[in-house]
Amino acid sequence: MTKDRLTSPLPTNEGQSDPLISPQEKCNINFNSQKNGVHMSIENPEEAFSLEEISGSSRKMGARKDGKSKKMCCFNPKEPKDGVKNEYQTASFREMLRYAEPRDWWMLSAALTGSILTGLSYSLHCYTEGGISDALMEGQFQYHNGTLAENMDKFSGKITVYLWRFFFLGCAEFMIVMLAMGCMYTLCERQTYLIKMKLFETILNQDMSWFDHNEVGALTQKMTDGIEKIKSGMCDKFIIMLQAISSLAIGVFVGLYMSWQLTLIMLAMTPLITFSIVYSAHRLSKSVRREMDAYANAGGVAEEVISGIRTVTSFNAQEFEAKR
């Protein structure tokens, strides 16, 4: 319609106006055919507009203000050069469990209790190993003195008691760890399934302009790889972290009870260890974000190439797309 209007002849009567132009503008329209297109000048609003490069689906409008022209798209919103920038926001563990049901919270409680008891069992293991070491050192001392044969029953009884302690601790730890890991893995599977469903529903409810700024391949990559990272962070790693924290706390109390001097010397290294852990976690979070961006872009390119493989083959662009 715009092209027909531009190429139509002007009315010969000066008082007669174009019905497509608002009578409030009262503009004088002059058409000048040039090499690169058709120009239209409007004198009333003290601005001039030009339509250039009208061919096919590419139509651009140049706005002239004070004699200077500026090109802008008149049909589609201006898109950024590098596409939409992905901004990631950190989420707490509670926010990742926003879709949890009451039974999910019960499983989380069982997993937390199991991880704390596992950390306690580590300290009991160390205490049992210390008792075995003391019994062996005492037996070696009696052996050198020649009194081991007289105290063999006492020595064997001590070793047997500590071995039974190891056995029962190992069985209890195995059952507790299996319970904690099973509850946590079940919880994570349920939450990742709900997150995927909610994400898929949210994507389907977006308008078409949103899909112009987001590649389909990148979205599928985020639905698979991104959510798998959430799952890996919520499952065994979370349980291992709680086990380490509980083992550290209980170990400090046991160490202070056994030998407070040696425990204080070991605690002097705590600030350095804490700083290294925090710095490593910060660097790891940045690298994970860059990795997710890279995989999202690669997934978008792969989806685009595979969906248009006939076009790629017809232009013999396999090597170019592989490097891309």
pLDDT in tens, 279-302: 888 888 788 778 777 777 777 777
CATH code at position 230: 1.20.1560.10
For residue 172, the model assigns a pLDDT of 92
The mean pLDDT value of the chain amounts to 72
> Domain of 177?
95-256
- Establish if 190 belongs to a structural domain: yes
Does 237 score more than 50 pLDDT? Answer: yes
Name residues whose C-beta falls within 8 Å of residue 235's C-beta, 6 or more positions apart in sequence. 184, 185, 188
pLDDT at site 208: 83
User: Are 203 and 100 part of one and the same domain?
Assistant: yes
End-of-domain residue from the set 237, 256, 275:
256
Q: Are residues 100 and 148 in the same domain?
A: yes
Does 320 fall in a domain?
no
243-247 long-range contacts, CB within 8 A, separation 24+: 243/115, 243/118, 243/119, 243/122, 244/119, 245/119, 246/115, 246/116, 246/118, 246/119, 246/120, 247/118, 247/119, 247/120, 247/122, 247/123
Size of the chain, expressed as the number of residues it contains: 324
* Residue 235 is assigned to a structural domain of this protein: yes
The rounded distance, in Å, linking the Cα atoms of 285 and 229 is 11
Q: How large is the greatest C-alpha to C-alpha distance in the chain, in angstroms?
A: 134
The domain boundary, picked from 256, 285, 311, lies at 256
* Residues 99 and 223 occupy one common structural domain: yes
* 50-90 per-position pLDDT tens digit: 434 433 333 333 444 444 444 333 333 344 444 444 555 66
Do 156 and 191 reside in the same domain of the chain? Answer: yes
Assess whether 62 and 149 both reside in one domain. Answer: no
**Could you say which of 204, 231, 256 is where a domain stops?**
256
* Section 252-258 average pLDDT: 85
Provide the pLDDT for residue 58: 38
Query: 147 and 218 share a domain?
Result: yes
Indicate whether 110 and 193 sit together in one domain.
Answer: yes
User: Residue 310 falls within a domain, yes or no?
Assistant: no
Q: How far is CA 135 from CA 100, 124, 150, 170, 265, in A?
A: 51, 17, 15, 20, 26
* From 77-81, 201-205, 314-318, the region with the lowest mean pLDDT: 77-81
- Using the predicted structure, report yes or no on whether residue 206 has a pLDDT greater than 80: yes
Strands of 58-65's sheet, edge to edge?
29-34, 37-42, 48-55, 58-65, 68-73
Tokens of 134: 């003391």
Specify if 62 maps to a domain: yes
Q: Distance between CA atoms of 18 and 323, rounded to whole angstroms?
A: 55
User: Which backbone phi and psi does 113 adopt, to 5 degrees?
Assistant: -65, -45
62 & 166 share domain:
no
Give a yes or no: residue 194 inside a domain. Answer: yes
- Quote the number of domains for the chain: 2
pLDDT for 111 beyond 80 = yes
Task: Give the pLDDT band (50/70/90) at residue 276.
Answer: confident
Contact 19, 28 (CB under 8 A): no
At 270, the amino acid letter reads T
Model confidence pLDDT, tens digit, residues 122-160: 888 888 888 888 888 888 888 888 887 888 888 888 889
The predicted structure's pLDDT at residue 88: 56
Task: Give this prediction's pTM.
Answer: 0.55
**Residue 294 maps to a domain:** no
